[in-house]
Structure 1
Amino acid sequence: MLPYSTVAELLAAGPAEAPAIRATEGRPSLSHAGLRSLAERTVTALNARGIGRGDRVAIVLPNGPEMASCFLAVACGATTAPLNPAYREDEFAFYMEDVKSRALIVAQGAATPARAAAAKLGIPVLELVPGEKAGDFTLEGGTAGTAALPGLAETDDVALVLHTSGTTARPKIVPLTHGNITASARHIGATLALSPEDCCLNIMPLFHIHGLIAAVLASLGAGGAVCCTPGFDALKFFRWLDEERPSWYTAVPTMHQAILARAERNAEIIARAPLRLLRSSSASLPGPVMQALEATFRAPLVESYGMTEASHQMASNPLAGPRKPGLVGLPAGPEIAIMDDDGAILPRGAIGEVVIRGPNVTKGYEANPEANAKAFINGWFRTGDQGVFDEDGYLRLTGRLKELINRGGEKVSPLEVDGVLSAHPAVAQALTFAIPHPKLGEEVGAAVVLREGMQLSERELRDFAAKHLADFKVPRKVVFVPEIPKGATGKLQRIGLAEKLGLSA
């Protein structure tokens, strides 16, 4: 793995004529040399419009090759701020103003409320015009200017700003430097033994850290390719797998479960698919789902542990094994420790808060001293996750600290209950959550999606859970639903679920 520390250096490493950016619509691919040339032209074009290192550029593009290449090319000479294309005008206005965007990039002719938000804020709009090859583009529009800091970005320049997905509080800005994100790309490449022979089928949204770093940056940093889809579609996934013949893909658990549900009817495609590995991250994958995916695809499923503030990857199950279902593996990048409430590092086997430090970890939230005072302790970043190292040094997450259910003083880990409920043969998906209770404070509830054609009563599932869980952990209320509410990146929404399902006290 070459020692790159900026996105431009990372792109310089790829074999010139080999494909870098591919697309599912049958367009010719963009080579590594072509991508390098695109990045140079883009930095020059931005500099000519007065945008240089440290200036923020909001990017609102649909998933696809241009979104991937635009992120890479803009990052080489400015700071990228990718935004969810599904936002409303007021959301675009909030995020663009919050990060102090100097420009907005949208697809030529695209009708997006981001345009109106930019107009209100006086932010110039640049139109991305796709080229013939996948991911190739030119920028049109904007006004001429002189960049204060022209040229290629340096290691300590901010490459990417993202907002945390706060459930109640105002979202915090996470600035990630070139040093942060290229370190994470190296860590992922090493964990998965990525090489120029590899191609990742990207089904993750590209306004999210998982898709940007694991699928795009890690692939290109290893000299390989990324095949960009228009976004996750369980109905098209197997056709893409057959036509594009990727060596791996990375996804969140809800996507893996949707793929697994359609696997049986696509057995012939799976049999001829050259998948070397599958990767899961961004939420906990139930052990039975991991085992079913490995058996179905006859390839290792590597579960990794990631978060925005760590430029994605923190821990991972090793590719060569042993891979432990329900555990997120060994430290795979930053140092990881378990800490008590007073800031003391705990020994192996003790439960506490997961803390991290290393080259891929953000130096702090932007303009938020209060959040930084809470987040950093003795040089460690507090993840907000509770966990424990087993005897082999593998990390088991026991839940988000703010999601632990406090039932009359007894703490229940929703992840543990999810794992037990998911092991029932009739259960396709399960999500455990807190229901407000007048006497106990909180009670245990679960939302469950059944497998197609299967039947199960609430009583039967509770009896099954009681064989594996202490009585206070068994859900008192099980709601069978056709689908569990998900966020924009496919993550299941645990907090606030009781209210959504009408179960609030």
Structure 2
Amino acid sequence: MKTTMHALIADHPGNLPAIGAADRDWLSYDGLRALSQEVASSLNAMGIGAGDRVGIVLPNGPEMATAFVTVAQVATTAPLNPAYREDEYAFYLEDLKAKALLIGADDDGPAHAAAQKLGLPVIRLSVPEGAAAGYFTLSSDMSGDASRAPTAEDVALILHTSGTTSRPKIVPLLQSNVAASAHHIRESLALTPEDRCLNVMPLFHIHGLLAAVSASLAAGGSVFCTGGFNALNFFAMMDEARPTWFTAVPTMHQAILARVGRNADTIANNPLRFLRSSSASLPAQVMVQLQETFGSPVIEAYGMTEAAHQMACNPLPPRAQKPGAVGVEAGPKVRVAHEIENHLIDGTGEIVISGPNVTAGYESNPDANAKNFFDADGARWFRTGDQGAFDAEGYLYLTGRLKEIINRGGEKISPLEVDGVLLDHPDVAQVVTFALPHAKLGEEVAAAVVLQEGSATTDKDIREFASSRMADFKVPRKVIILDEIPKGATGKMQRIGLAEKLGLVEKAQGE
């Protein structure tokens, strides 16, 4: 099995299409390999090589896809959400120990401001007029001499994941982790050079980077890169791209279903081999609707950042796709462990994984590593924080989450991070952020707040304050102002079950 990003694209016929986009020529595999060499020369001449970390902030599209694929063959990529505010960029870039920030040629937004504040060198990405999809050039004021190419044990991709502490954990994924996951997904979906993925997933997230881009390229297939998910133009993109599959989160699938009535011809003219769903639980009713609408199997998968995305996946026909199940073991070993003791069990417990795609551990976080990894039965196991069990046929069903992380349509939010921002408001005395059930997103962000005595601050004021400090998806949709926050038997404010305690559940689920 190939173990580096470079090896993933090395052997495919050069004339095959690799990267596409609306109103652009396709970038072939020869073109992608030539771009990889140009990027390596440019970065090496800037003093950037294996082990150096490059923050990448680019809009969704073909250049973001090729920037990830090419920079990862030279250095460590650190894609960041383009929706972040300046303070967030400053935190993440400093926490990652980035050596440089890669942004668009004309981007003078919050990422650029954060880099200036940190004294971080900036690399500019330019797209020549008429260039094929994904082709770009790089420029900067940096100079140096780096030449070592990454090996399988170098870090290819580094991402933050929200944890149960206020400080997000750093997940380093080795070249070998990323390559293994790309192969696992390719095998699960039986991808070939004939397959084309319509990518609507954000490319700062593990789902899009691995399932849509890396797995497609591992198979010699092609990826049509959109500017992100937009239900209004999804079917127009489908007409232009002529994909054989796409992958999305459940909320995207639901938005697509809402628009199928007027797009029956597009669906009929572009038969899909399958649809894929991941990053949050797909309601069984939605899975059935999608199958009936597209006349194609719906493959639900189970993934997380620490696994370089995929852990389990519903199989392709002739095997069954079971609504409500996240599939069968699909790459790493997947088992059930005791939720407190470090051993494997039968029945219901915490889902654990072990395999070549799994991170070796969180960076600079021995406490988290001690809590989340253990050795048993001749393997090293990672605790996912999810509870579940297998049925008699080996299909995995998740029964709940052990962690307090809020899963908003696939976006994971640390409640303590939100607490920390809201507590910066001068009129907020106490706060506890919690998950509010939501019919479409699964969960939404909510916060219970106690104000300083005599304050006339409103819930709208607090939400506006949060909006100025955090990306929109982290901002609480509902802020409840209370005289006192309910506490548990030990006197601690409890997140789990708070929505029920405050009588918010029935109303939220009906919205």
- Alignment partner, residue 143 of structure 1: 142
Q: CA deviation at 1:167?
A: 6.4
Cα distance in 1 between the residues matched to 2:502 and 2:215 = 42
Instruction: Look up the equivalent residue of 1:324 and give its one-letter code.
Output: K
**Partner residue of 1:179 out of 176, 189, 204:** 176
- Is the contact made by 2:5 and 2:179 (CA closer than 8 Å) also made in structure 1? yes
**Partner residue of 1:245 out of 226, 242, 246:** 242
Cα distance in 2 between the residues matched to 1:107 and 1:169 = 31
- Is the contact made by 1:208 and 1:489 (CA closer than 8 Å) also made in structure 2? no
Cα distance in 2 between the residues matched to 1:38 and 1:284 = 37
Q: What does 1:347-362 align with in structure 2 at a 5 Å threshold?
A: 347=346, 350-362=347-359
Instruction: Look up the equivalent residue of 1:122 and give its one-letter code.
Output: G
Unaligned 5+ runs, structure 2: 410-433, 442-470, 479-494, 506-511
| Larger displacement relative to structure 2 (136-145 or 294-303) | 136-145
- Is the contact made by 1:158 and 1:178 (CA closer than 8 Å) also made in structure 2? yes
Cα distance in 1 between the residues matched to 2:62 and 2:82 = 15
**Partner residue of 1:159 out of 156, 160, 178:** 156
Query: Structure 1 residues 152, 116: closer, same or farther in 2, change over 3 A?
Result: same
Q: CA deviation at 1:342?
A: 1.3
Cα distance in 2 between the residues matched to 1:219 and 1:122 = 37
Q: Secondary structure of the residue that 1:279 maps to in structure 2?
A: strand
**Partner residue of 1:219 out of 216, 221, 230:** 216
| Counterpart check, 1:281 vs 2:281 | no
Cα distance in 2 between the residues matched to 1:187 and 1:155 = 17
Cα distance in 2 between the residues matched to 1:444 and 1:101 = 32
Instruction: Look up the equivalent residue of 2:263 and give its one-letter code.
Output: N
- Alignment partner, residue 3 of structure 2: 5
Cα distance in 2 between the residues matched to 1:109 and 1:501 = 49
Query: Structure 1 residues 445, 222: closer, same or farther in 2, change over 3 A?
Result: closer
Cα distance in 2 between the residues matched to 1:108 and 1:500 = 49
Aligned length: 429
- Is the contact made by 1:241 and 1:273 (CA closer than 8 Å) also made in structure 2? yes
Unaligned 5+ runs, structure 1: 406-413, 419-442, 451-486
Q: Secondary structure of the residue that 1:402 maps to in structure 2?
A: coil
Q: CA deviation at 1:241?
A: 0.8
Query: Structure 1 residues 28, 82: closer, same or farther in 2, change over 3 A?
Result: same
Structure 1 residues 221-253: Cα deviation after superposition (integer angstroms, max 9, x where no partner): 000110000000000001111121111000000
| Counterpart check, 1:400 vs 2:425 | no
Q: What does 1:355-434 align with in structure 2 at a 5 Å threshold?
A: 355-378=352-375, 379-402=380-403
- Alignment partner, residue 98 of structure 1: 95
Q: Secondary structure of the residue that 1:333 maps to in structure 2?
A: coil
- Alignment partner, residue 427 of structure 1: none
Cα distance in 2 between the residues matched to 1:259 and 1:76 = 35
Structure 1 residues 406-462: Cα deviation after superposition (integer angstroms, max 9, x where no partner): xxxxxxxx99xx9xxxxxxxxxxxxxxxxxxxxxxxx99744469xxxxxxxxxxxx
Q: CA deviation at 1:388?
A: 0.3
Q: Secondary structure of the residue that 2:124 maps to in structure 1?
A: strand
Instruction: Look up the equivalent residue of 1:309 and give its one-letter code.
Output: E
Structure 1 residues 332-354: Cα deviation after superposition (integer angstroms, max 9, x where no partner): 0000110112122112xx11000
Instruction: Look up the equivalent residue of 2:332 and give its one-letter code.
Output: P
- Is the contact made by 1:126 and 1:140 (CA closer than 8 Å) also made in structure 2? yes
**Partner residue of 1:38 out of 13, 35, 38:** 35
Query: Structure 1 residues 501, 206: closer, same or farther in 2, change over 3 A?
Result: farther
Cα distance in 2 between the residues matched to 1:21 and 1:489 = 29
Q: CA deviation at 1:280?
A: 0.3
Cα distance in 2 between the residues matched to 1:329 and 1:499 = 30
- Is the contact made by 2:56 and 2:80 (CA closer than 8 Å) also made in structure 1? yes
Q: CA deviation at 1:496?
A: 8.8
Instruction: Look up the equivalent residue of 1:294 and give its one-letter code.
Output: Q
**Partner residue of 1:21 out of 19, 22, 42:** 19
- Alignment partner, residue 413 of structure 2: none
Structure 1 residues 79-118: Cα deviation after superposition (integer angstroms, max 9, x where no partner): 0000001111111010000011101111101232111111
Cα distance in 1 between the residues matched to 2:362 and 2:132 = 38
Q: CA deviation at 1:173?
A: 0.3
Q: CA deviation at 1:14?
A: 2.1
Query: Structure 1 residues 338, 247: closer, same or farther in 2, change over 3 A?
Result: same
- Alignment partner, residue 479 of structure 1: none
Cα distance in 2 between the residues matched to 1:91 and 1:291 = 39
- Alignment partner, residue 508 of structure 2: none
- Alignment partner, residue 63 of structure 1: 60
Query: Structure 1 residues 257, 57: closer, same or farther in 2, change over 3 A?
Result: same
Cα distance in 2 between the residues matched to 1:17 and 1:79 = 28
- Share of identical aligned residues, percent? 57
Stretches of 4+ aligned residues off by more than 6 angstroms:
487-490, 492-502
| Counterpart check, 1:134 vs 2:133 | yes
- Alignment partner, residue 264 of structure 1: 261
Q: What does 1:188-337 align with in structure 2 at a 5 Å threshold?
A: 188-320=185-317, 321-337=319-335
- Is the contact made by 1:204 and 1:489 (CA closer than 8 Å) also made in structure 2? no
Query: Structure 1 residues 211, 444: closer, same or farther in 2, change over 3 A?
Result: closer
